[in-house]
Chain A
Amino acid sequence: MTTEKIALERHKYDVLVIGAGGAGLRAAVEARESGLRVAIICKSLFGKAHTVMAEGGAAASMGNANSNDNWMVHFRDTMRGGKFLNHFRMAELHAKESPDRIWELEMWGALFDRTKEGKISQRNFGGHEYPRLAHVGDRTGLELIRTMQQKIVALQQADKREHGDYESHIKVFAELTITEILKENGNIAGAYGYWRESGSEVLFEAPAVIIATGGVGKTFKITSNSWEGTGDGHALALKAGANLVDMEFLQFHPTGMVWPPSVRGILVTESVRGEGGILTNINGERFMFKYIPDVFKDKYADNEAEADRWYEDQDNNRRPPELLPRDEVARAINTEVKAGRGTEHGGVFLDVSKRISAEIIKKRLPSMWHQFYELAGVDITKEAMEVGPTCHYVMGGVEVEPDTAAAVGVPGLFAAGEVAGGMHGSNRLGGNSLSDLLVFGRRAGMGAAAYVKQNSSASVSDATVAAAAARIEAPFARTGGENSYSLHAELQEVTHNLVGIIRTGAELKEAIEKIAEIRKRSANVVVSGGRKFNPGFHLAFDLDNMLLVAESTAKSAIAREESRGGHTRDDFPGMNSTWRQSNHIASFDGNQVNVRKQSLPFMPKELFDLFEVDELKKYMTPEEIAKGGTN
């Protein structure tokens, strides 16, 4: 079917924010409050972003539950969780600024759960030394999104009073997909896309673009991510000349639902374990005690009695091993299932009913209760849940300058939230995502505002527009090619089987070949139907993004010959201190993704000194220890 030519819609803004999840909205608020005109692009309706799925909470060392907590403890936990591959400066900024970001939300109307003194309540989570997660039951992400959505409405109401129009200075473009970030003379000039509803095309001219598109989960078969997690921002950035860092590191959340099949992958919040849930195999064995790695032996209980006491007395007991960082728990479950000790549906049991009363479960974990009761017919106040690993989060992402969130190498481009790399190293701690997107969303807004003050105008040439338009038209003009649904399913099989939790060099090599082959066939994808709200057409573009992400991940993974955090090589099982000194940088040359090594920035002395040398020895080479930090 041919499509009608529609006149091009044009908009000019100071800042264009691609993505309306937590990071995008926080960036937009900051840019608007700096006096700029801001456009927010969302792929779905406003307020539906994947941030709403975040359950557990936002990590911030406010010290409300334990006054020993402070930014230094949070920084240490974050670096440990990431196996010291994190960009130290991002982890530092994050730990220092997250309390202010939470309190700020409260000033905007957020209603977190409270302590007895009336402060914001904080809960335990894997890898965090103290109870640190600000939360609202188990729907914290929804509270974040709604609060920022309403903050944006508040800004629009102020604009209405001042300028007579709600949308004069900040406008949400809902259900619009960006297909390309546009540059002129090496600098950002705007972006091009289409309305999902009508299929008609839109040009945005803006000197600064903030990418806040979230994750890549849909590249994988079993994922907790919604359809939107197709790595759009990762691919847009790559194509615009930016780098992706650490793309081999993917977080498989240890506890996704495994039954029934239609909900396979949907998240079971870590709060279930934080509140006292235990993991057992089909023999009833509480197996996590077997999987405490040496680096964590002094912090985690090796027997049930001590683990149980910890819930009452955290100062004199070590933590239960169910609260190890996510990568450790995911691998442990994977090993149990592979050894034949899993449930009939390929998971293990997670049980919270033995320790907590039904009333408290329903109060603290209301949406989990709801989710299992309505989708799996399981009453978690009485029975165990069946859970297994699910692709949840990508640690890798756009390489940015920590302080400004500016994408390295592309003036005018910024990235924040899950789409940015570096902050979490090789593995993210639960709770550190919601705080990450607030801290770096704000910094991206500030960075973009500062940039726009120096580079205030942007215009896109007709030739650039014509090229972007031609790419959107292309799949409609083709005949005889395959459809995007089947290619997507094929890609998911490849990533699931060959680039999953446990990897080998041979399988990664095979994956790289297969991904290249699917990419070749995808160049010939055809779309049936017209432009109007046509998911087949939408997926054709998303598929292209996922293929670039998969290629970046597989090529980074084959190059890293060690196991660390969210990257486990069966053929290189140990963690290697020399490998810790390098990041992988993926870039795109127009034909394929190339991956190279780059030295990891080294911590300055004041941060280095926050750790015991004995601990650092587990991660660093003797030369690095001797150096003792820079400056």
Chain B
Amino acid sequence: MARKLNLRIWRGDATDGGLKDVQVDVNEGEVVLDVIHRVQATQMGDLAVRWNCKAGKCGSCSMEINGKPRLACMTQVASFGEDETITVTPLRAFPVIKDLVTDVSFNYKKAMEIPAYEPPKELQPGEARMQQVDVERSQEFRKCIECFLCQNTCHVIRDHEENKKSFAGPRFFIRIAELDMHPLDMLKNRKRTAQEEHGLGMCNITKCCTEVCPEHIKITDNAIIPMKERVVDIKYDPARMFAGLLKREKRN
């Protein structure tokens, strides 16, 4: 049953690296991660790759497969032509550590900067009442498995290291949206801080993030666009502008 697959793997580290060609057995039904593991066990014992659950639930084995950001555990070898060479390379938006493993600490730093959930002060444990239809909007975003494929593909940071400082990225826009739509969250102005502190305005809605999301979260349509629209409303709402002017006058 086994056939030979031509696999091209990027090997190296921050200082140097390049594509290496290997031939490896592949069986019916296998995914790209299976063949990478076979290479590891039989030909390259020190080949570095992240993985955990192998079922598309943990978001660890993110890489670029023939140039597309994918989860290796959810990419069937059979989805490529029999004679096609499969090329696997590390995520491009993050610094390479070794082989297919990149330094994704950027994302954990950004996670720390998103203000946490704030429950109502008087709410006692067990007393929360929410309707299913109201929690579902946030639940869509809480499906996120933090594979960071959306971050990787987002062209605001993919080839623009300089933007990373002021841009949280799609993963964290859905985090903000999730909290903003949380029926009980009390923190005000999440949308405005998304715009002013986390770089929401830099997104120009090309929907690349939505396309690569393995959880099929509608990142752009359901999180980014509604927040952008509301930010515009808030910023250009004449009543609010007037109230803002009054406030400023008072301060002065």
Contact = CB atoms under 8 A, between A and B. Distances in A.
Q: Do A and B interact?
A: yes
B86 interface: no
Interface string A41-57: 00011111010110000
Interface of B: 13, 27-31, 34, 40-41, 45-60, 74, 76, 97-99, 101, 104, 108, 111-112, 114-117, 119, 123, 125-126, 128-132, 135, 138-139, 142-146, 179, 182, 185
Contacts of B146: 47-48
Contact of A142 (B46, B57, B108, B138): B57
A157 B45 contact: no
A375 B60 contact: no
Interface in A228-277: 228, 259-263, 266-267
B7 to A, nearest CB: 15
Contact of B112 (A47, A153, A485, A535): A153
B29 A50 contact: no
Interface in A144-172: 146, 150-151, 153-154, 156-157, 160, 166, 172
Given A261-B29, A262-B30, A108 B74 contact: no
Interface residues of B: mostly helix, strand, loop or mixed?
A: loop
12 contacts: A48-B52, A106-B126, A111-B139, A154-B117, A166-B112, A228-B52, A485-B45, A532-B97, A533-B101, A534-B45, A535-B48, A535-B49
A227 interface: yes
A532 B98 contact: yes
A493 to B, nearest CB: 14
B126 A99 contact: yes
A183 to B, nearest CB: 31
Chain B CB within 10 A, most for which of A48, A197, A371, A376? A48
A113 B138 CA distance: 11
Contacts of B57: 52-53, 139, 142, 367
A298 interface: no
Contacts of A536: 40, 45-46
Contacts of A109: 116-117, 119, 179, 182, 185
A150 B58 CA distance: 16
A139 B141 CA distance: 13
Contacts of B114: 153
A375 B60 CA distance: 17
Nearest to B41: A485
B135 A111 contact: yes
A374 B60 contact: no
Interface string A518-556: 000000000111101111110000000000000000000
B130 A118 contact: yes
Contacts of B132: 113-114, 121
Contact of B60 (A48, A118, A154, A260): A48
Contacts of B128: 103, 106-107, 118
Nearest to A197: B97
A167 to B, nearest CB: 9
Contacts of A53: 53, 55, 57-58
B142 A143 contact: yes
Contacts of B60: 44-45, 48
A118 B49 CA distance: 43
Nearest to A141: B57
B13 A45 contact: no
Contact of A114 (B27, B130, B138, B144): B130
A119 B142 contact: no
B130 A371 contact: no
A107 to B, nearest CB: 5
A117 B131 CA distance: 7
A496 interface: no
Contact of A118 (B76, B97, B129): B129
Given A53-B58, A109-B185, 10 more contacts: A44-B52, A46-B108, A47-B146, A62-B126, A103-B126, A112-B135, A121-B132, A261-B30, A535-B40, A536-B45
Contact of A153 (B59, B116, B143): B116
B31 A50 contact: no
B142 A528 contact: no
Contacts of A100: 125-126
Given A150-B116, A166-B112, A375-B31, A52 B182 contact: no
Contacts of B111: 153
A1 B241 CA distance: 68
B41 A375 contact: no
B143 to A, nearest CB: 7
B55 A266 contact: yes
Contacts of B29: 259-263, 376
